[in-house]
Amino acid sequence: MQTPTTNQPNPLVRLVWNAHERRVRALVRLTTTIVLLVIGVIVFGLLTALAFMPFDPALPLQGSAETLLLVGVIATLLATLAAVWLAGRLLDRRPFAEFGFQLDRNWWLDLAFGLALGALLMTAIFLVQRALGWVEVTAMWRTSSPDRPFALAFLAPLIAFVCVGFYEELLSRGYLLRNLAEGMNTPRIGARNALLLAWLLSSLVFGALHAANPNATPASTAMLVLAGLFLGIGYMLTGQLAIPIGLHVTWNLFQGNVFGFPVSGSTISQATVFAIEQRGPALWTGGAFGPESGLIGLFAILVGSLLTLLWVRARYAITTLHTKAASYQSLPPAV
């Protein structure tokens, strides 16, 4: 008499393969995407450097700071786009748009709101510090080279911060947060709790990735975890990256190259509208790391979070979490 066979998959297979979703599990997706990203940064770094060499022949030996900045951020942007697109197609089994790029009219309006919010919050930080005597403006329209037009000098950091805002949000919120949420969305945890846990974990990763920045401290890392939560609010409510990308771009740009503050511990000084001398207590100002690590940055984050909630409620009449970001709809089997 034959023993009935079962269709139960091998336990080792179950560790990497989700039979219900017909795709590999979240940990495999995330690990593979990191490998693709590292390979992409190397490949696109070389290609971007070759593209810039006619403009900066000294690049292979000692290129200018501006060229090195642009090579780095453009290569990382291209690598991120390629890695997430490939992962989405081969591992996640979803179109790229589902990572937060449903580019309709609402998406572009949310992007405009995010851009305006980042500029508004950093302008408020500057004005408050100046009113308290913590900031002294020492010059205007400063460039690293007096012979260089300001608009041309400002172009490099503008491109850099657009690239950084795009690829950091795509990775941190669009890909990492979503995959963590889907991976933790079990019957016991549920979609809502999985999304909240993923929001927290992705923000912890965001803070940890900045822990090695110049002038970083445990306090600055903790503040960047809060900044990650703040940047994620728009995605948590809408499932789109428009608000986070816009907010990220202008928060950095106005912090560094409009008002002359350090940006996460770094100084991008090709051009600043205001050249400043920072004073005041580091606990409030953030000191050498920049306003986002001080109490004044914390207040800006709280105000910005409230304004984001009000914007989403006014636009969409919702203030509930976008729990679809924690749920995966299986694609039909390939014919």
Specify the pLDDT at position 1.
46
Q: Is the pLDDT of residue 98 over 90?
A: yes
Instruction: Supply the DSSP string of 73-105, one letter for each residue.
Output: HHHHHHHHHHHHHHHIIIII-S-GGGGT---SH
CA distance 100 to 294: 30
Q: Is the pLDDT of residue 138 over 80?
A: yes
Mean pLDDT, to the nearest integer, of 81-93? Answer: 97
| Predicted confidence band of residue 330 (pLDDT cuts 50, 70, 90) | low
pLDDT tens column, 32-42: 999 999 999 99
Residue 9, SS3? coil
Question: 203 Cβ partners below 8 Å, 6+ apart?
Answer: 225, 226, 228, 229, 232
- Whole-number Å distance between alpha carbons of 198 and 189: 12
Secondary structure percentages of the chain, helix, strand, coil, to 5 = 65, 5, 25
Please report the pLDDT score of residue 331 as a whole number.
Answer: 57
Task: State both tokens at 205.
Answer: 């990763």
Residue 2 has pLDDT above 80, yes or no: no
- Calculate mean pLDDT across residues 85-97: 96
**Cβ neighbours, 10 Å, residue 225:** 19
Residues contacting residue 150 through CB under 8 Å, at least 6 positions apart: 141, 143, 271
What digits encode the pLDDT tens for the residues 171-213? 999 999 999 999 999 999 999 999 999 999 999 999 999 999 9
CA 333, distance to chain mean position in Å, is 33
The total number of residues shown for the chain amounts to 335
Q: What is the mean pLDDT of residues 263-283?
A: 89
Q: What was the pLDDT predicted at 12?
A: 77
Average pLDDT over residues 139-143: 91
Question: Which string of DSSP letters, residue by residue, matches 133-187?
Answer: TSEEEEEEEEESSTTS-HHHHHHHHHHHHHHHHHHHHIIIIIIIIHHHHHHH--T
pLDDT band of 31, cuts 50, 70, 90: very high
Per-residue pLDDT averaged across 5-15, rounded? 69
> What single-letter amino acid sits at 169?
E
pLDDT at 59: 81
pLDDT of residue 55: 82
Measure the N-to-C terminal CA separation of the chain; round to a whole number of Å. Answer: 37
Tell me which of 15-24, 27-36, 124-133, 223-232 is least confident: 15-24
The model's pTM: 0.93
In the prediction, which pLDDT does 319 show?
80
How far apart CA 197 and CA 237 sit, in angstroms, is 15
Q: Would you give the DSSP letter of residue 255?
A: I
